[in-house]
Amino acid sequence: MMRLLIGLAGLMGAAGVALAAASAHGADAGRLASASTMLLFHATAILAAVALLSRGLLHGGMGLVAAFGFVIGTTLFAGDLTLRQYAGHSLFPMAAPTGGTMMIASWLAVTLAAMMAKK
């Protein structure tokens, strides 16, 4: 499970850098910059969650929920913005706000996982 999360974080980081490059070289690519930022930031958050889980500083189940929430939420958010930029339509109605809400909930889950972890 941890290796899967690390691999997904690596893919998100790579996608974030690619979207940053596309944003820097494209006209009217503000959506790509936002997608890139969320991908890069949350890829790092996933790696941090894995490290905290491995040290026992986060409750296992809740920490995994948070980490996978980062993956799903960021994928929805960044995927929707990227699809709108290149295809002119959204992933599905409310995909970006749903992803954003999942990212917020995942940060709250990290908080809860820290409070639930055994001392």
Which residues of the chain have a pLDDT value below 50? Answer: none
Closest CA to 40 of 20, 66, 24, 22: 20
Any idea where the domains of the chain sit in the sequence?
Answer: 2-116
DSSP state of 83: H
* Contact (Cβ atoms closer than 8 angstroms) between residue 5 and residue 49: yes
Closest CA to 41 of 24, 16, 65: 16
pLDDT reported for residue 85: 94
pLDDT reported for residue 119: 67
CA distance linking residue 8 with residue 43, whole number of Å? 8
Which residues contact residue 77 at a Cβ distance below 8 angstroms, ignoring those fewer than 6 apart? 35, 38, 95, 96, 99, 100, 103
pLDDT reported for residue 12: 98
pLDDT reported for residue 97: 98
Amino acid at 80: D
pTM: 0.94
